[in-house]
Structures are given as structure tokens and as C-alpha cells.
Structure 1
Amino acid sequence: MRSSFKRSAHAVSLTTGRITVGARMLPSFLIIGAQRCGTTSLYRALAQHPLIVKPVLRKGVHYFDVAYDRSLSWYQAHFPLKATAAKLHRRYGYRPQAFESSPYYLFHPLAAARIAWDLPGVKLIVLVRDPVERACSAHAHELARGFETEPSFERALDLEAERLAGEANRLCASPHYVSHAHQHHAYLARGRYAEQLSRLELLVGRDRVLVLDSGVFFRDPEPVYDRVLEFLGLPRLGDPVFEAHNAQPRTSDMPAKVRQKLNEYFAPWDALLEPWLGAEPSWRR
């Protein structure tokens, strides 16, 4: 009953949004990933800022990855009214900024180009985490959601190449194609952060991409939060509450041989992150 009510409310809200689409905002920045790297926690912290306005219905719209067959008007219908932004502008003297958080945007092969085309000037925020921990956390997350059927993390890693074979090419060849394996079974591939960031650099430009170390964010969130506000050109207003969301248990029980193998696999990719972070990744120190 509750889910049925939520679906009905969602449909009504979107219908209203479409009617008023011309009077609605488009996002000034996006949190685009990576998955299982603290995107929800950062989203919740930023949503407390009076000049940062979130989508009307949910944190991630997923337009640029799995819903691009819909129109830009459909996307815009998810955001607050410009009249709301105007009131905030008059009150605080700064222009409010709308945003959303969809962590598949970073990994989807077409999302960056779509974002660059539809939202020129948009700023992008990326969070990165120890890719070994991220991979194991993602497996537990997908297993809990029913999107993964292989209970063994090690076996899921072995299956990844076969599962993902040709999927990125299919996504590029058929723009409205949706790949379950590419979205839910990319435990190693999603941890090659530098590979995905290089695509962003070409399409958006490095100056409009902010890469954050999730380990640093969770250990000392205040300076990271202030860095985000500086990137967005917004003043510090109030003191947000920082909380961890959607956390999975740590992987201390991971077999040593698997951890070592994954550490070696990701080492060259981690090294390529240093120019983006301005420091060695926290998990390599």
C-alpha cells in the first residue's frame, strides 16, 4: 500500500512538474559518483545548505544514464521552481544552485557527453574511495538489493569480464539500451576511477570537475565541505550535520590473497588519481 501511494504521489508530482517545466530550475552541479563512495552522505550534507536545492522527489534522477529516452523537459520537471530560487536569492544575496546525485553517471560511457551537451557550464563532483573496499561494498550492496545472484565476492570478480563483455559498446551503439550487468556487476571496472575521469576531462574540462577522497571526507568532513562550497562559489551558511549513510560492513574478513591481488590490480590506477586529488590517495598512505 505504501509503495503504491508513493508511486501515485510520484506520478502526480511529475505531472505537475511537466506543466510548470518552463518555470523550473536546471542543476548547476551534479554529484556523479563513484558508487559506494559516500555520495549519499555528501548529498545529505549539501542539501542542508539554504542555497543548495535538491530535486523535488529523490536524490538521483538518473536521466543521463538510464532515462535518456525521456526529454530534457522531463528531467527539468524534477527540480524546484525558479520562483523559489528567486526568493532565496533576495534573502541571501547569492544565486541558489540546484543539484542531484546519480552515481552511475561517472561510469556510464555516454553520460558525460550527454551532460556536457544538455548542461553546458555544469560543475561535477566525484568521490573516490579505496577501490578494493568499494568493490566488496558494491557486491554486498547489489546482493542485498537482489541485483547480484552470486554470493561469493571472489567468484563475482571472476565473472565480471564475461558479464561485461561488449556491454559498453552496446550502450554506445544503442543510446536507449540499458545494461543490467554494466550497471550492477562492474566491481573492478568502476574502481578504475582515472579511466572515467579522463573521459570527463575531455568532455567537460578539468576545471569543472572536483574529485574528493572519501576517506578524508569521512575522517574530517568540515574542510572537504568548505572546499566544495568554494568550488561552487557559495558562502558558508550554518553548520551541517555530517552522517554516514548507506554504509556496508568493512571487508576485514576478505581473504588476504584476494586483497593483495586487488591492491596490485588497482595500484597503477590509484597512482593516476594523484593529480586529481592533489595528494596520494588516503588508502595508499
Structure 2
Amino acid sequence: MALPHFLIAGVPKAGTTALHAALVRHPDLFLPSVKEPKFFLTDGPPPTRGGPGDAQTYQEHVWRREDYERLFDPAPPGALRGEATPFYLHHLDSHARIHRLVPDAKIILLLRDPVDRAHSNWTHLWTAGLEPEADFLTACRLEDQRKAAGWAAFWHYLDLGRYGAQVKHLYEYFPASRCCSCATWSCGRHPRRPWTRCARSSASTPASSTSSPPRTSPAPWTTPASTPRCATCCAPVPGSGSTFPYPCARSSGARC
């Protein structure tokens, strides 16, 4: 049985799927086909109720240790093992669980502009037919109510982007020297750089042997802090120069 050497611990809608796909191709690394085992999110079985679609998601949790370790059994000898569950940073209790089981693990964080991240999160659930609220800001205002009702973390549009307190808590268990943080809003100009940094952090290999993001992965985007935003939906307004993939609805002539 084996445990991971590194964890991609955050954050949702910041490129962790593309990073996982890139690192899977690295010759010195092994990541299981299950991209989000979510093992460290609970001390036992996950909840059974929540918001729309949460019950199905909870059934996908790999919460038994023997099942979790079995994910890494196919790892070749000498390969560094890792997994990607982008909710670990947000779930503060998971930091202690990770440290208790794999205290020497390296932690990789992909961080994205919190507003862009929140809007992308809402768009993801809205287009999936799960988000019942058609207005982004209204959905954000419902966050406390949804949290009280037990909706899963993926519905916490605002809280998932409060990186400061989360990273500070993580550093209580893992020093900064064991953490690699990359801002994905820089990917548009330097698409290889975050993947190279993360591969170096996890495998300590030369940049020439690292994998670039797969061509089939979504193109990264950038939204500078000074970008004008719609006062209603908070998305970049048309003509602002942002490459954010979900601009304000006014770009299509619709009323935002």
C-alpha cells in the first residue's frame, strides 16, 4: 500500500484539471485516474444530503483508507505519487488530516482571481442544470443560507476564494517551503510556466522534462485587476480586453 508524495490542493475552477492532465504525462510522476478522490475531506463517510447533485457527488468520495491507497498501487517503482482534490485548501480540517498521514507531502495550489473563479463556478453549475438561481449576485447572496442547509463546498462561490485565511491555516501544518502556489491568471502570457513550476515542485526535475498543458485542455485566460466589470454580474465587460471565457451577457446583446 502507498500514499501520495504531493497533493494538488486547490482551487476549484483554477485549472487543476488541466494541471492533472499535464502531470499525468510526466515520466517521473504517477497520478491515479480518479482526479478527485476527496479522501482527506472527511474522517469517515461523507454526508448523504446537500444541494442539487451533492448526493451523487458524495457517492464518488474515496473515504476508506484501503480504497485510497489502492489508487496508487499501479504506480511504477520510483515514481512520485500525487493526487488532485482542489477542495483541500478550503476544508481547513483536511490540513490536519493530510499532515497526520503524509506530513512530508508537498502541496500544490493553483489560485485564480477570486471574482473570476466565483463566476466560473456559478457558470459551471448553471450550465450543468444544477444552479437554480439565474442571477450570479443573487446566488452569492444565498451562500450563507446554502451553507447552513448543508450544501457542498462547490456551492460556496465566495468562500472558496478567500485564499488568505486558508493559506495561513495551511502554513500551520506545511511551511511555505513545502507549498507551490501558482496564479493561473498569468497563464495567458506564459502558458508553460505554472505547469513547469508545479512539475518541478513535485518531481524536482529539469524544466526540459516537464509537460506542457495538453492541447485539448481549455485555453487559460487572464483578467487584470483593473479590468472594468459589469456592476450586475461582475464579469468583465465587452471590449475590456479580458480573455475571460464567460463575459458579461451584454456581449451577446442580452440584458445582463
Q: TM-score range by the shorter chain?
A: 0.7 to 0.9
1:210 and 1:250 map into 2 onto residues whose CA distance is: 20
Task: For 1:148-227, list aligned pairs within 5 A.
Answer: 148-165=131-148, 179=150, 181-227=151-197
2:228 and 2:13 map into 1 onto residues whose CA distance is: 19
1:249 and 1:151 map into 2 onto residues whose CA distance is: 24
Q: Percent identity?
A: 29
C-alpha displacement of 1:46: 1.2
1:150 and 1:253 map into 2 onto residues whose CA distance is: 24
**Equivalent position of 1:256 in the other structure:** 231
2:135 and 2:228 map into 1 onto residues whose CA distance is: 13
Per-residue CA deviation, residues 105-159 of structure 1 (Å, 9 max, x unaligned), is: 1112311111111112011111111111111100011223344221211110111
- Report SS of the residue matched to 1:259: coil
What amino acid sits opposite 2:99 in the alignment?
Answer: A
- Report SS of the residue matched to 1:124: strand
1:27 and 1:72 map into 2 onto residues whose CA distance is: 12
C-alpha displacement of 1:54: 1.1
TM-score by length of 1: 0.66
C-alpha displacement of 1:255: 2.7
Structure 2 residues not aligned, in runs of 5+: 46-62, 236-256
TM-align CA RMSD:
2.9
Contact 2:187/2:222, CA 8 A, preserved across alignment: no
**Equivalent position of 1:37 in the other structure:** 14
**Equivalent position of 2:127 in the other structure:** 144
**Equivalent position of 2:213 in the other structure:** 242
Matched, 1:113 2:96: yes
Pairs aligned (count): 213
CA gap of 1:147–1:79, structure 2 versus 1, over 3 A, is farther
**Equivalent position of 1:46 in the other structure:** 23
Contact 1:139/1:153, CA 8 A, preserved across alignment: yes
1:52 and 1:134 map into 2 onto residues whose CA distance is: 28
- Report SS of the residue matched to 1:134: helix
C-alpha displacement of 1:250: 9.4
**Equivalent position of 1:79 in the other structure:** 72
2:7 and 2:117 map into 1 onto residues whose CA distance is: 21
Structure 1 residues not aligned, in runs of 5+: 1-21, 87-94, 168-178, 261-285
1:233 and 1:185 map into 2 onto residues whose CA distance is: 33
What amino acid sits opposite 1:85 in the alignment?
Answer: P
C-alpha displacement of 1:64: 1.1
- Report SS of the residue matched to 1:32: strand
CA gap of 1:143–1:68, structure 2 versus 1, over 3 A, is farther
CA gap of 1:246–1:233, structure 2 versus 1, over 3 A, is closer
Matched, 1:125 2:108: yes
**Equivalent position of 2:37 in the other structure:** 61
